[in-house]
Structure 1
Amino acid sequence: MDMPESASCRCFRMAIDLLGKPWTGQILWILQEGPLRFNELATKVQGIGEKVLSARLKELECQGLLVRRVLPTTPVRVEYELTCKGQGFRQVVEAVTHWGTQISESSDQAR
């Protein structure tokens, strides 16, 4: 059953607003590999400040895209891992890449 257009547009806008924030897509993509600690993420997302990374992680956690797990070690370790919903980002990347390939091919043919 199709969603009413207004609900579909609202969901699309919400997703685009989230992904439009700097670093969000890169964080989601890097976490596709598996759980990482804050410093590991900071190293892999080159150029991001700690405050921005922390804010993005909190936002992604609030959206249900990742979980923050405190590990009972000494010293305490914190890991971030994608939820099933967060792992769905891979499908978004694949779909956009496929669409981009089609656009590129049609652009090449028009020349």
Structure 2
Amino acid sequence: MAALDLLGRRWTLRILWELSRAPAGFRELQRRCERMSSSVLSTRLDELTTARLTILYDDGYRLTPLGRDLVEALAPLNAWSRRWAGVLDEAPGQDQP
């Protein structure tokens, strides 16, 4: 349950997604996640680092091997969410058999 608690916190999945694309420093992450406050970003990065999903290097934050494994494990959920979004864009009732 601890993993679900962490992943359910606002912005956590977005940070993981952004770091899966490329390492980033604090300011760059804040730019990528345009509406996130610096205090929330700082808290989430601390939580992700404590959970050993991210690590801070001289050039910024990166996913750890555990963090990369998590992003890979979430790939099917990402694919499902894209299909779901497509269904929501359709006219009501089109998803019925």
TM-score (norm 2): 0.78
Q: How many residues align?
A: 88
Q: CA RMSD in A?
A: 2.1
C-alpha separation in 2, matches of 1:98 and 1:29:
13
Aligned match of 2:31 in 8, 20, 43? 43
C-alpha separation in 2, matches of 1:96 and 1:83:
20
Q: Residue 27 of structure 1: CA displacement?
A: 0.2
Q: Kindly report which structure 2 residues correspond to 1:20-99, keeping only aligned pairs within 5 A, or say none.
A: 20-69=8-57, 71=58, 79-99=60-80
Percent identical residues: 33
Q: Residue 91 of structure 1: CA displacement?
A: 2.2
Q: Residue 89 of structure 1: CA displacement?
A: 2.9
Q: Residue 90 of structure 1: CA displacement?
A: 2.4
Q: Residue 64 of structure 1: CA displacement?
A: 0.3
Moved over 2 A (4+): 89-93, 97-102
Q: What amino acid sits opposite 2:50 in the alignment?
A: C
Q: Residue 98 of structure 1: CA displacement?
A: 4.3
In structure 1, the gaps of 5 or more residues are 1-12, 72-77
C-alpha separation in 2, matches of 1:31 and 1:97:
15
- Rg: which structure is higher? 1
Q: Residue 93 of structure 1: CA displacement?
A: 2.8
Q: Which residue in the other structure is 1:18 paired with? A: 6
TM-score (norm 1): 0.69
Higher strand share: 1
In structure 2, the gaps of 5 or more residues are 88-93
Q: Residue 42 of structure 1: CA displacement?
A: 0.4
